[in-house]
Amino acid sequence: MSELFVALTPANLLACFVGTVLGTIVGVLPGLGPAGAMALVLPLTIKLGPTAGLIMLAGIYYGAMYGGSTTSILINVPGEAASVVTTIDGYRLARKGRAGAALAVAAIASFVAGTFSVVALQLAAPMVARAALAFGPAEYFAFALLGLVLLANLTGGSRAKSLAMVLVGVMLSTVGMDPLGGTVRFTFDLAGAQAGLSFVAVTTGLFGVAEVLASMAEPVPAGAVPHVKFRELYPSREELRRSVPPMLRGTVLGFLVGLVPGPSATIASFVSYGVEKKVGKHRAELGTGAIEGVAGPEAANNAAAGGGMIPLLSLGLPFTPSTAVLLSGMMLMSVTPGPFLLRDHPSVFWGVIGSFYVGNVMLLLLNLPLVGVFARVATIPPRYLMPGVLVLCAVAAYSDNNNIFDVWVMVVAGIAGWAMRALDFGPAPLVLGLVLGPVLERSLLQALTIARGEISGLWASGPAAVMLAAAVVAFVAPGVAALVRRTATHRT
């Protein structure tokens, strides 16, 4: 536990500062999201070493949640999907002249939720990791399968499309050497494909290049950014009083939603808003510029970001694109996340958790006085920003293996990702299928070998049986629900 103070060394403080500032900028900018930005700086973080490198990556991850709210409130442009719901009441508040109060409440809610989720993460992650030590291949297979099915259900849009993307991701993960026997598959004699498709190249393509291509067809927000003076950043006593209950509800809800696979930060913010509409004392005012509509969702999306770290740190299984990039960063730095992380790399584990505390304070101190500066970043024309992003994508992809093949993978992934967006296929399920594919394959084959070919070996243990049953229910339930709905409509 004393390793928590590792986060306070000058190098780690600097890494945390740079990460949180970059994260805030990424959160502010429409287009480039935290996963793409984290993939872009991977080569840089490797140079910093595991602890500082991962602290910087994590800073981008939760810094983006802070930044996203700024432009939602000031100019009605959510920097990332988790802040979409904040525009509803946040922008309305700004129009009423309460922009400063809304920004301050968003920052305070983010801070409270961020800090709560770190405390919960600090307590829960080692417990889950200890429990996971008893996990065998069958349990890992069941958990990864459950994660992917839930992911397909919760990604939003068509479930079949999400499922298709998960499967394409799993298929792409089979390129290269097979995880058990070492057979080289689907390389078509391309030397660069022997080690498999570079995750960094695919991610920079899908989340970087594809975003740049898609942003060309989107209108650029134009308009003046309202100037918010520092002394206007004080919410009134009434506003603060009204913010506390939704902030606390959002924090707990967000953390719990964060444990579930899928775009948990976005879902958490919508769930929190929905809950406030049902139980909030001033629910009638929601949608007209109520402070509860900022406090709840902003707390929820930050708490979810913390919750999402638990499966990654304690089981080594990422369920969001951002945590998948974090996993990739850990692997590149020879740190294997999972139950043994705490035992083998305690300074990395506690250093990253400690940096969350420091990062949350930094973000609060940074975001309040510099809110106007960050908001102006959103109005930089893409023609000056996006070409540089393209070159950064290429360098990030190349430097993964110092290989031109990976640049080709990035270009193809970028063009495919752009087409996928146009056809409403999300890139997140594909990336997670790519990351979890080898885990699924390895654990399935090992479980079958251990059970001497008996399929029932996959559900012989209690936890595996429960998780597989949950996966089956999650797979079947939406179809059954749709059937019931259809029958009911036919009857009426």
**Are 208 and 414 contacting, i.e. CB atoms less than 8 angstroms apart?**
yes
- Binding of other proteins by 401 (CB under 8 A): no
Count of all residues that appear for the chain in the document: 492
Using rule CB under 8 A, residue 209 touches other proteins? yes
Token pair belonging to 64:
């983006």
CB count, 10 Å around CB of 487? 9
Q: Does 110 bind other proteins (CB under 8 A)?
A: no
* Using rule CB under 8 A, residue 104 touches other proteins: no
- 330-369: which residues touch other proteins (CB under 8 A)? none
HSE at residue 301, side-chain half, CA atoms within 13 A, is: 33
CB of 121 to other proteins, least distance (A): 24
User: Counting contacts by CB under 8 A, is residue 449 touching other proteins?
Assistant: yes
290: left (phi over 0), alpha (psi -120 to 50) or beta: beta
Parallel/antiparallel/unpaired status of strands 176-177 and 184-185 = antiparallel
For 176, phi then psi, to 5°, come to 105, -155
Query: Which residue has tokens 């872009």?
Result: 40
Nearer to other proteins, 46 or 252 (CB): 46
Smallest separation (angstroms) from other proteins to the CB of 302: 16
If we measure between CA atoms, which residue out of 243, 309, 254, 317 comes closest to residue 282? 243
Minimum CB separation of residue 417 from other proteins in Å reads 11
- Count of residues of this chain found to bind other proteins when the rule CB under 8 A is applied: 107
288 lines the binding site for other proteins (CB under 8 A): yes
57 vs 394 by CB, closer to other proteins: 394
**CA–CA dist 400, 406 (Å, integer):** 8
Helix (H, G, I), strand (E, B) or coil at 246: helix
Residue 340 CB, nearest distance to other proteins (Å)?
Answer: 25
The answer to whether 119 contacts other proteins (rule: CB under 8 A) is: no
Answer yes or no: are the C-beta atoms of 380 and 77 closer than 8 Å: no
Whose tokens are 């929905």? That residue is 274
Residue 110, H or E segment: helix 99-132
- Closest listed residue to residue 347, CA positions, set 15, 41, 55, 39: 55
Six token digits for residue 187: 């390389």
> Which strand (E) or helix (H) includes residue 184?
strand 184-185
Q: Does 195 bind other proteins (CB under 8 A)?
A: no
Residue with Cβ nearer other proteins (248 or 390): 390
Does 76 participate in binding other proteins (rule CB under 8 A)?
Answer: yes
Side chain identity at residue 99, one-letter code:
A
Instruction: Give the nearer residue to other proteins in terms of CB position, either 235 or 293.
Output: 293
Measured over the CA atoms of residue 88, residue 91, residue 95 and residue 97, the dihedral's sign is positive
Question: Min. distance of Cβ 243 from other proteins in angstroms?
Answer: 19
Does the footprint of other proteins cover residue 394 (CB under 8 A)? yes
- Residues 167-186 binding other proteins (CB under 8 A) are 167-168, 170-171, 174, 178, 180-181, 183, 185-186
For the segment 290-319, give every residue that binds other proteins (CB under 8 A). Answer: none
Q: Which of 244, 399, 460, 466 binds other proteins (CB under 8 A)?
A: 399
Q: Which two tokens stand for residue 61?
A: 């991850």
By C-beta, is 9 or 449 nearer to other proteins?
Answer: 449
Q: Which is nearer to other proteins, 235 or 263 (CB)?
A: 263
Rounded Cα distance, 431 and 38, in Å: 14
Q: Which of 108, 135, 203 is CA-nearest to residue 443?
A: 135
| x-marked contacts with other proteins along 13-32 as a string, rule CB under 8 A | -----------------xx-
Choice between 122 and 153, CB closer to other proteins: 153
- CA-to-CA distance for 51 and 60, rounded, in angstroms? 14
CA–CA dist 192, 194 (Å, integer): 6
- DSSP track, 422-453: HTT--HHHHHHHHHHHHHHHHHHHHHHHHTTT
CB of 399 to other proteins, least distance (A): 4
Positions 260 through 279 that interact with other proteins (CB under 8 A): 262-263, 266-267, 270
Considering the complex, state which of residue 90 and residue 235 has its C-beta at the smaller distance from other proteins: 90
Site string for other proteins, 235-264 (x = CB under 8 A): ---------------------------xx-
Here's the x/- map for other proteins, 122-161, by CB under 8 A: it reads as -------------------------------xxxxxxxxx
* Residues between 37 and 56 with contacts to other proteins, criterion CB under 8 A: 43-44, 47
Q: How far is the CB of 357 from other proteins (least distance, A)?
A: 27
Question: Is 393 in contact with 209 (CB distance < 8 Å)?
Answer: yes
In DSSP terms, 176 is beta-bridged to 185
Single out the residue of 11, 133, 194, 223 in contact with other proteins (rule: CB under 8 A): 223
Question: Could you say which of 392, 431, 436, 471 contacts other proteins (CB under 8 A)?
Answer: 392
The interface with other proteins within residues 417-446 (CB under 8 A) comprises: 418, 421, 423-426, 437, 440-441, 444-445
> Which of residues 12, 70, 83, 322 is near other proteins by CB under 8 A?
83
User: Nearest approach, Cβ of 463 to other proteins (angstroms)?
Assistant: 22
* Nearer residue to other proteins within complex by CB, 79 or 338: 79
